[in-house]
Structure 1
Amino acid sequence: MSQITPYLGDRLAQARALAGLTDEALRVRAITAARDKSGEDLWALTLAYLSSDTSAGVRLSPHTLRAYRKGVEVLLDHATSNAWNLLHPGRREPGLYVAALSASGLKPATVQARVAAAGALYRALRWAGATDADPFADVKRPKDRTKGVVKNPPYRAEFVQAMLEVADPREAALLLLLTHAGLRIAEALAVEWAHVNLPARRLLVAHGKGDKARFVPLSARLREALETLRAEAAAPQGFVLPWRAYSTAYERLQRVALACGRAHEFRGFHAGRKYAGTQLYATVKDFTRVAGFLGHEQVDTTRRYVELPEDDLADAVEAFR
């Protein structure tokens, strides 16, 4: 009789293939993978843990998963080169790993992402019963003293307008979902026609970060762009935008920037979201309301998205006595 191969077509099925094992079988599988430093097996274990035993579960974004997978690969390369015993790492090894990442020239944010991935791998190993080790629990991580809004400031209004002048209807809708609705790229690509309520001038972000839903108001310019797309569709249903991959959406906007002669100003998606936050704060002067608009749980996060003018306090102090 031929062996039955389990279906592994989606993330939940992949997680079930491991999570469905007996405790002892899963423990042995994890111990063997750690002993052999098997990248594929350790990533499968990490993915199963992330998909089945975390709050985000199978709704973890592809971007987050790519970052975790890269981090696991980098850790395993380091562990192999430095003869780590993954299940029983030396007490000082994690600190040396972080130091090596910093010494390689990586930015603090990238180092933090690598450490987060390493922590996820060890949570997965503990979940599988392979070890009690938690080597990255107390490791010191480098801090970036430069504010994010300084390193990657919002797009300028003239750049957004130049892009809109040459963008096709779908590219314009994507750009406006970022710069007027303040959506994350994953949220923008996931918008469905069922989520769009043009008469009420709002759309539903059905699955934001952390699987939190929120309503977002639609600007007149964005409503016009969406009406154009809807008029072109024979029967508007399903996704508003045709692209599912971040890389495809990135390439489309990059080409738009090139077409308007401003390719050097294009910095991906997040600067568009910061543009939306900055524009809204300039009007409402309330970080709490901007946080709700952007889908931030903490107002301190929102402060890193809003660029304040250098003379923001000039008028306020003018009449001091």
Structure 2
Amino acid sequence: MPTDLVPFSGDRLSQARTLSGLTDEALRVRAVTAARDKDFAELWALTLAYLSTDTSGGVSLSPHTLRAYRKGTEVLVEHARTQAWNLLHPGRREPGLYVAALSSSGLKPATVMARVAAASALYRALRWAGATDADPFTDVKRPKDRTRGIVKNPPYRAEFVQALLEQADPQERVLLLLMAHAGLRIAEALAVDWTHVDLQRRRLLVAHGKGDKARRVPLSARLREALEVLVPGAGPVLPWRAYSTAYDRLQKLALKAGREHEFRGFHAGRKYAGTQLYAATKDFTRVAGFLGHEQVDTTRRYVEVPEDDLDDIVENFR
């Protein structure tokens, strides 16, 4: 039986079935061969099949998450190749050395942790396939980032959002406002369909949020106006499906507005929405529901609280 995996040409579930449908022995042999040869393409196909069929996220895992896992798998396989790792039976100290090598290369702690998460996913996939019992990253110490996320990547400022809106075409304006006013993740924004939009009731259904959880969010007046300009119809609201395409459009928009140095991707727009809502409500629980967070502690990392918001209260202490 050939060991080459057929290139993926259908949906992820179809690809997963290609591997999951094998007998236990055939799957084990394929995984063992891929690990022995340190074949990234086959190891990633195995990991993707595992992630799609045997995890809580399943086929609903976001493209962003999959990109991170794919890159992390690629980095680990390359490290194993250059360091002569036996992937199925790694030495006791090798995982710690791998994490140390990542840290010493100048990567940020969050990126190192993402690489380790991908490595752990690869080993879960290898165990799922019956190729090994190894779980080498369980006890490896991860680097800790002492700088709060809201400091490293704060919300966009109102002036920046307004500058981009003034330069945006109708579709770019909707994309911006879906993040900065509706608080959507980029994957959620690109997935919005006209059937999810209720302009009359001023509501938007986020049909497939993170973890495949649905929620409804209010539509601001500016976002409703921007949607009406597109002329509501059928099918997707936005023409772009790929994260990279949307990123490129906003990056070029920031350049056009002369503020390219302030562009920091999509999450800062979501933080802008969360920060605005918290400023009005002073309620992290309501902001968590708006952003689609299960844990309020996650929401706290998205909201920038003014440093002087206690000044007047403390001033009147008795």
When the two structures are superposed, what TM-score results if normalisation uses the length of structure 2?
A: 0.96
- Does residue 319 (structure 1) correspond to residue 316 (structure 2)? The answer is yes
Q: Note closer, same or farther for the CA distance 1:260–1:24 as it changes in structure 2 (3 Å cut).
A: same
Q: How does 1:150-299 map to 2 (within 5 A)?
A: 150-230=151-231, 236-299=233-296
Summarize the Cα distance change of 1:6–1:300 in structure 2 as closer, same or farther, 3 Å threshold: closer
Aligned to 2:141: 140
RMSD: 1.2
How far apart are residue 216 of structure 1 and its match? 0.6
| CA shift in 2, pair 1:308/1:11, >3 Å | same
2:39, 2:229 → 1: CA distance? 50
Cα shift at 1:6: 9.6
1:33 partner letter: A
Aligned equivalents of 2:29, 2:146: Cα separation in 1: 43
Deviations 1:11-62 (A, max 9, x none): 1111111100001111111111111111111111101100111111111111
> Which deviates the most, 74-83 or 182-191?
74-83
Map of 2:3 onto structure 1: none
Counterpart code for 2:191 = A
Task: Name the CA distance, whole Å, in 2 between partners of 1:220 and 1:257.
Answer: 23
Aligned with residue 309 of structure 1, among 301, 306, 314: 306
Quote how far apart the aligned CAs of 1:228 are: 1.0
Q: Verify: 1:60 aligned to 2:61, yes or no.
A: yes
Alpha-carbon distance in 1 for matches of 2:272, 2:252? 20
What displacement does 1:253 show? 1.2
The CA distance in 1 between the partners of 2:103 and 2:138, in whole Å, is 18
Aligned residues: 313
Deviations along 1:215-245, one digit per CA (max 9) or x if unpaired, are 01111111111111126xxxx0110000111
Greater alpha carbon shift after TM alignment, 265-274 vs 8-17: 8-17
Q: Report what 1:131 is aligned to.
A: 132
Bigger mean CA offset, 249-258 vs 190-199: 249-258
What SS class does the counterpart of residue 216 from structure 2 fall into?
A: strand
Residue identity matched to 1:135: P
- For 1:159 and 1:32, the matched residues in 2 are separated by 52
In structure 2, distance between residues paired with 1:252 and 1:6? 30
State yes or no: 1:32 paired with 2:33.
yes
Q: Which residue identity is paired with 1:313?
A: L
Contact 1:6-1:17 within 8 A present in 2 as well: no
Number of the residue aligned with 1:90: 91
Residue 7 of structure 1 deviates from its aligned partner by: 7.7
Query: Per-residue CA shift, 1:166-210, capped at 9, x if unaligned?
Result: 111110000000100000000000000000011111100000001
Match of 1:293, SS state, is helix
1:308, 1:25 → 2: CA distance? 55
Q: Distance in 2 between matches of 1:89 and 1:121?
A: 13
Q: SS in structure 2 opposite 1:230?
A: coil
Give the residue type in structure 1 aligned to 2:316.
A
Distance 1:202 1:26 in 2: 47
In the superposition, relative to structure 1, how do residues 6 and 92 fare at CA in structure 2: closer, same or farther (>3 Å)? closer
TM-score under structure 1 length normalisation: 0.95
CA distance in 1, matches of 2:208, 2:28: 34
Q: Which residue of 2 aligns with 1:100?
A: 101
Whole-angstrom CA distance in 2 between matches of 1:122 and 1:222? 44
> In the aligned structure 1, how far is the partner of 2:201 from the partner of 2:130?
52
1:117 paired residue number = 118
Q: Which blocks of at least 5 consecutive residues in structure 2 are unaligned? A: 1-5
